[in-house]
A = this chain, B = another copy of it.
Amino acid sequence: MARSAGHPEAAPCPISPVVDIVFSRWTTPILWTLNEFGTQRFVELERRLADITPKVLTQRLRQLERDGLVGRVYHAEVPPRVEYEISELGRSLAPVFSTLTVWAQEHLDQVADARGDYDVAGKPKP
Contacts and interface: CB of A to CB of B under 8 A. Distances in A.
Interface of A: 1-19, 21-23, 28-29, 32-33, 36-40, 44, 47-50, 62, 65-69, 72, 74, 89, 92-93, 95-97, 99-101, 103-104, 106-108, 110-111, 113-115, 117-119, 124-126
A48 B9 contact: yes
9 contacts: A3-B37, A8-B47, A11-B36, A11-B37, A13-B28, A16-B29, A67-B115, A74-B126, A96-B99
Nearest to A108: B17
Nearest to A113: B68
A15 B39 contact: no
